[in-house]
Structure 1
Amino acid sequence: MSNRICFEALDRTIRDILGDVCGSKRERNFGGVTVVLGGDFRQTLPVVPGSGKHETISASITNSYLWNSCIILKLTSNMRLSRFADTDEEKERTANFANWLLSVRNGAEHSVQISNSQEFEWIRIPESFLIDPGVDETKSTIDATYPDLKSMYMDASYLRQRAIVTPKNDAVNSLNESVLDLIPGNKHVYLSADSVDGSDNMSDDLRGIYPTEFLNNIGGGSLPCHRLILKVGAPVMILQNIDQPNGICNGTRAVVTALGRRIIQVKLITGISTNKHICIPRILFIHKTTAFPFVMRRRQFPVRLCYAMTINKSQGQSLDMVGLYLLEPIFSHGQLYVALSRTTSPNGLKILIVDQDDLYKGCTKNIVYREIF
């Protein structure tokens, strides 16, 4: 998922450092140091804000001068699935599921003619994976992903094993609020302190154009919400690298155990420090984007509710139960495959698709940029 510019900057940096010791190292990629990269071009690619297909492909390392020097090693076994298949019947079903995932990943799954676009196809999801939307799509997805929530909401292993994934942050926020309302306990509301960075070169007059109320509405990505609502027992995801050697970093999930005015206590449920209790203070986030002519400062707890998470944020997670909430189709390369492949078993995948037409019931968009391969 890293932009090729990051690798090229690292390459030049190592060449400069080692070149002072041995001049010939300046002419070798990464100064002659062996660098191991891990990734899958059939999953999500580098995120380039406001870009299209060609800009995204261009940002990939396959378009870097470094790529021709890479030796490619391929892994062929789906370890996430195979470790939980015991009986012959389970092994056969798991193998069929793994093959279906590969066809989705490669853009080889039989397509349904809905759109003539060459950038994506529509495929039909097997009926065994579909959730009946009923009257309330949100409730149906929550019930399928979090059965017995009211009695299990404090069980760390129950929360660690499941999550709802969806393409966009707006749907994530709505789902998290809906699930939080279902569990008992008092809500604690934490508001961020937002301001325009004083070190920026903006004049006071221009800074006044963007009031605090406007800054409060900025969100998305790795920036925590202005209005953070938590309860004891709620699962959260850490959004910042706090203590990497101990596994307390971006993407680590935890369960809230205590809520104070200026600090919250959580118990880690993923990573190398599972079951460890830690205290998290508010920290300062510096947010810079080309969408605004200023740098924003936000002081807030570096966590976000994670009953639901975006598909991009779920990459790397392994879950026993995945609820894929497709109120809208996916919108970028590899997203559908990433969402489908988070589960450790075909029994643990449930998908809600809002059908526009009975003729295309259970169909959803699959975007695969074959040029990247």
Structure 2
Amino acid sequence: MAFAGKVVVLGGDFRHILPVIPMGSRQDIVQASINSSYLWDHCSVFNLTRNMRLASSDISEDNSEVNEFAKWLIQIGDGFTGDSTDGESKVLIPDDMLINDTEDGFTELVHFVYPNIVSNLNHTDYFKKRSILAPTLEVVNEVNNSIMSRLPGEQKVYLSSDSLCVEEGLPLHQICLKEGVPVMLLRNIDQSNGLCNGTKIQVRHLGNHVIEYIILTGDQTGRVVLIPCMDMIPNNDTLPFRFRSRQFPLIV
């Protein structure tokens, strides 16, 4: 009997996160997915009927525009939108979702998402509903540096203290922050108090080893919290080195 007769809940969306197979091919990754396993025949699939990422307290479920956008996202995930060739698809994005092409489209994007950012630093609702998504870490850094340069105040740089077993290794990690900057948690720190992976928070005070934030999302919105620098000890046998670092579990 599968799972020794116990009820097992497999959460998540296979279209979002695939298994990580070091140096694996596309076929290796697909074969490692749970729906390629012999156990899949013993599973019952339950589909959610509401897009929780689009849902919020001030958006009605009957909002036709939101519903149409949710359907469009599902069609992209299912591969029903766009022309597919050799595993790659070209999707046409509706004009109302695009910013007109200009000489400095990146600046236009920042102004579009964060208009009058300096005058709204003390308004928690301003950052609560605004984010810029990026495809790579390089673009994330570019976005962070651009927004940081627009904010007043002194910038504080936090470095992780790495101790490597060999001379060659990862470069020192750093994060640059200013008071008022919105950031996002990358780890579950205290779920009962709203400090979960993906929670948006805003910097209130920068200390040497502790940073003060105000929570922007979730049922703990408005609560002031202190997050210390934490030990990070990755354990990956495929890396030729081992290291310990102290860093803040967040991203700008």
Query: Which interval holds the TM-score relative to the shorter structure?
Result: 0.7 to 0.9
Q: 1:103 aligns with which of 59, 75, 79?
A: 75
- Which of 1 and 2 has higher RCO (CA within 8 Å, sep 6+)? 1
- Helix, strand or coil at the partner of 2:162: strand
* Structure 1 portions without partners, runs of 5+: 1-27, 198-206, 218-225, 306-373
**Higher alpha-carbon Rg:** 1
Alpha-carbon distance in 2 for matches of 1:96, 1:180: 35
Structure-to-structure mapping, 1:157-236, within 5 angstroms: 157-196=125-164, 207=166, 209-210=167-168, 214-217=169-172, 226-236=173-183
The answer as to 2:3 corresponding to 1:35 is: no
Instruction: State the 1:254 CA deviation.
Output: 0.9
Instruction: State the 1:77 CA deviation.
Output: 4.0
Q: Tell me the residue number matched to 2:40.
A: 67
Per-residue CA shift, 1:108-147, capped at 9, x if unaligned? Answer: 1242xxxx84111112211121112312232111112112
- Helix, strand or coil at the partner of 2:18: coil
Question: Normalising by structure 1, what TM-score?
Answer: 0.61
Instruction: State the 1:38 CA deviation.
Output: 2.6
CA gap of 1:145–1:36, structure 2 versus 1, over 3 A, is: same
CA gap of 1:129–1:293, structure 2 versus 1, over 3 A, is: same
- Helix, strand or coil at the partner of 1:99: helix
Question: Normalising by structure 2, what TM-score?
Answer: 0.87
Q: For the Cα contact (< 8 Å) 2:164–2:244, is it kept in 1? A: yes
Per-residue CA shift, 1:196-239, capped at 9, x if unaligned? Answer: 25xxxxxxxxx2x32xxx5325xxxxxxxx11111111111222
Amino acid at match of 1:194: D
Q: Tell me the residue number matched to 1:147.
A: 115
RMSD of aligned alpha carbons: 2.5
CA gap of 1:282–1:78, structure 2 versus 1, over 3 A, is: closer
Structure-to-structure mapping, 1:1-373, within 5 angstroms: 28-78=1-51, 81=54, 84-85=59-60, 91=64, 93-111=65-83, 117-196=85-164, 207=166, 209-210=167-168, 214-217=169-172, 226-289=173-236, 292-305=239-252
Instruction: State the 1:80 CA deviation.
Output: 5.1
Q: For the Cα contact (< 8 Å) 1:243–1:249, is it kept in 2? A: yes
Aligned length: 250
Amino acid at match of 1:139: T
Per-residue CA shift, 1:160-215, capped at 9, x if unaligned? Answer: 11101111111011101111111111111111101125xxxxxxxxx2x32xxx53
Amino acid at match of 1:262: H
Alpha-carbon distance in 1 for matches of 2:230, 2:55: 41
Alpha-carbon distance in 2 for matches of 1:130, 1:277: 36
* Structure 2 portions without partners, runs of 5+: none
